Structures are given as C-alpha cells and as structure tokens.
A and B are shown apart, each in its own frame.
Chain A
C-alpha cells in the first residue's frame, strides 16, 4: 500500500504544542515544503528538535520568526539573530546540546537505549546536573534519549513503501530522526515504484516511515 499523502493530510498530524524533529543542517536537507505548511497552519508553542535554527528566511528559522516555537533543542543558533533575540526576551527557551551529543540522544531514542555515555562536555556547563560514570578510567556524561511525536524528514528518493535514499550533505540528521518519532513524514523529490530501488542502496528502511509527501 502506498504511503503517499497530501501535504494537507500530513499537517493534520501536528497540532499546537507538538514536539517535532526536523531534519537539515543550516537549511540543507530541511523539508521546506513541510516547514512552510507548518507556517501556514500557524500551530503555536511547538517544541522543535533539530541541528540548528537555520536562517530567518530558511529552514527551522522561519518557525522562530513566526513565533510558533516555545522550545528549541539544537546545537547552534548563531545564524539566526531572531533566535538570540527571543532567547533574550525569554519568549523562547533554547536547550543547546553539543551536536554529536544531540544526534546520539536522538539515535538512542530510536534504538531503544537508555541514553549514551559521552566524554563530550565533561568539565563544562553542559555537565551540570548530569550523572557521570567512569568506564575504564575515563569519565563520561550520561546523556538521555530524545524522542518526538513527529519527525519531518527530507529525502532525495523513495519508493512508495517509504524506503529512502538521501543525497550529499542533505542526509545529516534526517535518517536518525526518522527512527525516533511516533509519526514520520518524509518530503521526497522523486517517488518511485516498489522494486525500483536496489535493496543495497537503500539508506533507511521504509519500516521507519509512515507517510511520504511529494517534494520539489
């Protein structure tokens, strides 16, 4: 059965206060059609999890500018001055997470793990309030798993069963967030028939994907 739905149907899965993971790295690999649809629906108080808050006119940044985000869990906000402004005025809560820790928290959320032990952040403000564990003489932080209600993913190719292929550096967070959300919706450039993708080429198995929408 085909997993292809309309953008409008896809956005019915979101609502005010949804926790949403969005793929992309400074906009590259961000599903912009899905983000634009979130903008036009105007859902408020969203929690957004992604690598960064993009630019004011691109990627996750547009949702910040439109005052739809209550909390952002990201590794970087420096390219979007509006994020900094809303942090300062306390309109927006930002949890800054080291990029490698963020992706491993999401990976562990999707992989059924109780978190990860990482040396990153030991001895810095990132370690405050977190349990530390010594393994073979080295100190690690326990970082807890992250999951979301919805993941908005962008892929280059899919078959109608949702098997995915990503392209170049647009892959980034996309295949990992697809493992860690209750509903996974993928914006795809080229939607092919089942059997057109070689099983060895598929980067993410379709079992993680709930719905596909046609991208550009």
Chain B
C-alpha cells in the first residue's frame, strides 16, 4: 500500500537522469531520495555545505548534518565546502534540479513557500536562491491543502519565493507542466478523474492531448 506522499516522491524521482546534481527540500522532497533508480547516478546537494548526501541510517558524526539539521552521512566522492561556495553552486546554475514544497503555486509559475504574514514566518532559508538558480524547479506537494483549500491558483496570494521559475508541479492528483502558454495537465494519478482535478485546481490549464496515467511502480496505489 502506498500513501499519497510516497506516490509524489516516487513520481518526482523519475524526473532525474544519470549525472544530475539535485537539491531536495524539506518534507515530501526529502522522501524522493529513497526512490531514485539505482540504475542512474544522481548526486544530492545539501545547501549547508556538501554534495554526496548519503543515508541517515547509522549517521553519528555531529559535524555532519543535512539542511534540516539531522545527522547524515556523506558518500565516497562527496565533498564539503563553505556557504559561499554552496550558493555559488545554487545560483550559478550548477544544479540540474531543485525539488521544493509549496504553500501556493500559480499558472505563471510563481511560487510561495516561505511565509504566511502574521502567522508563520519561518524565513526563506535557501529557498529563494534555489528556485532562482536551479536549471529545473519541481514543486512536489499534496494537491489539496488543509480543510480542502486549493493551492494551484491563478495568482499566488502569499508573499512570493520567486517569480516565474517553476517548471513542473507534481501532486498526488496529477502532473502539470508550466509553459509560456500556461499550465498543461500531463498525467493523472491512478483513480483520480479529470473532474476531481478541475474541482481542486483554481488555475486555468489545458489538458495535454496525450494525457497519461501517472505510473510509479508495481506497488498498489491508494485512491484519492
């Protein structure tokens, strides 16, 4: 049995190709690491200062933590550096992709994921740099917010993380590609109807003529 977060993480993992350097954000994006195909070599970047993020199992070196502050390990071939180098990698276009969660994303590719005024103000950390700098920006999130709120909007209402930088939106309902012409629905999750996507998506979008079912693995996928 697969929960919705696992479904999203597995689908995101299919976006990478051999040799990619990728930064994974906190939450669902972190899960993606577990589902990257063993037939390709993908290097994970951690913005606090290293590439070659390994497994957190058996991690015990207090000088080695991930961007969420948890102990982790570094793989053979990995390297460490200071924060200026880390963000030169990020801003300089040396990351093939970054995967982040979102509070809101809109049909122009704008992203809001760092604050809700007067409520949650955690700060942007490295998110603004990641979204501006990475070659591809993939938003990975549950399609519907708490209380049934819609998160894929015509126009973001929360303070933006960056303008027009999102390339792909992967949710437990579907996959949207962000293009110059707007959003295109490319895939539908198993047991999710076009009508359900319409109901829980405020943004305008077109439906790709060859819209497919989202395929992640042979495991059973729970319906939504």
Which of A20-28, A37-45, A191-199 is the contact stretch?
A20-28
Cα A39 to Cα B133 in complex, Å, equals: 38
Which one of B82-90, B142-150, B166-174, B211-219 contacts A?
Answer: B82-90
| A-contact 0/1 string along B117-139, CB 8 Å cutoff | 00011111111110011000000
Q: Does B75 contact A (CB under 8 A)?
A: no
A156–B63 Cα distance when bound, in Å, is 9
A123 CA / B126 CA spacing, docked (Å): 17
How far does the alpha carbon of A120 sit from the alpha carbon of B162 in the complex, in Å? 8
Given contacts A76-B123, A96-B123, A99-B126, contact A168 B160 (CB under 8 A): no
- Tell me if A87 is interfacial: C-beta within 8 Å of chain B: yes
For residue A107, which residues in chain B have a CB less than 8 angstroms away from its CB? 84
Write out the residue numbers on chain B whose beta carbons fall within 8 Å of the beta carbon of A25: 48-49, 65, 67, 69, 83
Across the interface, do A103 and B87 meet the contact criterion of CB distance under 8 Å?
yes
- The smallest C-beta distance from A64 to any residue of chain B, in angstroms, reads 14
A98 touches B124 (CB 8 A): yes
A169 touches B48 (CB 8 A): yes
Question: In the complex, how many angstroms separate the beta carbon of B113 from the nearest chain A beta carbon?
Answer: 11
Given contacts A167-B63, A168-B61, A169-B48, contact A99 B84 (CB under 8 A): no
Q: Are B122 and A171 in contact (CB under 8 A)?
A: no
Could you say which residues of chain A place their CB within 8 Å of the CB of B121? Answer: 77, 84, 87, 94, 96
Contact residues, A150-173 vs B (CB, 8 A): 156, 166-173
Tell me the complex Cα distance, A27–B123, Å: 17
- Within the assembled complex, what's the spacing in Å between the Cα atoms of A157 and B75? 23
- A27 B69 Cβ-Cβ under 8 A: yes
In the complex, what residue of chain A is closest to B83 when comparing beta carbons? A103
Find the B residue at minimum CB distance from A77: B123
Instruction: Give B47 Cβ to nearest chain A Cβ, in Å.
Output: 7
Is A181 interfacial (CB 8 A cutoff)? no
- Is there an interface contact between B163 and A99, defined as CB atoms closer than 8 Å? no
**In whole Å, how far is A31's beta carbon from the nearest beta carbon of chain B?**
13
Question: Which of these, B69, B84, B129, B159, contacts A120 with CB under 8 Å?
Answer: B129
Cβ B82 vs Cβ A123 within 8 A:
no
**Which residues of chain B are within 8 angstroms of A121 by Cβ–Cβ distance?**
128
Interface residue? A75 (CB, 8 A): yes
Q: Is B74 an interface residue (CB 8 A)?
A: yes
> At the interface, is chain A mostly helix, strand, loop or mixed?
mixed
| A79 in contact (CB, < 8 A) | yes
Q: Which of B47, B124, B162 has the most CB of A within 10 A?
A: B124
B154 contacts chain A at the CB level, 8 A cutoff: no
B83 nearest CB across to chain A (Å)? 4
- The residue from A78, A84, A167, A173 contacting B83, defined by CB atoms under 8 A apart: A173
Q: CB-nearest residue of chain A relative to B26?
A: A78
* A16-60 interface bits toward B, Cβ cutoff 8 Å, 1 = contact, 0 = none: 000000000111110000000000000000000001100100000
A74 at the interface (CB under 8 A from B): yes
The answer on a CB contact under 8 Å between A172 and B128 is: no
Residues of B within 8 A of A132 (CB): none
Q: 0/1 per residue, B91-106, Cβ < 8 Å to A?
A: 1000000000000000
The 10 A-B pairs with the shortest beta carbon distances in the complex, nearest first, are: A78-B122, A100-B87, A100-B129, A26-B69, A123-B163, A76-B123, A98-B128, A168-B63, A168-B64, A76-B125
Q: Besides the contacts A74-B123, A99-B124, A171-B81, what 9 more A-B pairs have beta carbons closer than 8 Å? A: A25-B65, A55-B69, A75-B123, A75-B124, A76-B125, A78-B125, A84-B122, A99-B125, A120-B162
List 6 A-B residue pairs with CB atoms under 8 Å apart, sorted by A's residue number.
A27-B69, A28-B48, A77-B121, A125-B159, A167-B63, A176-B82
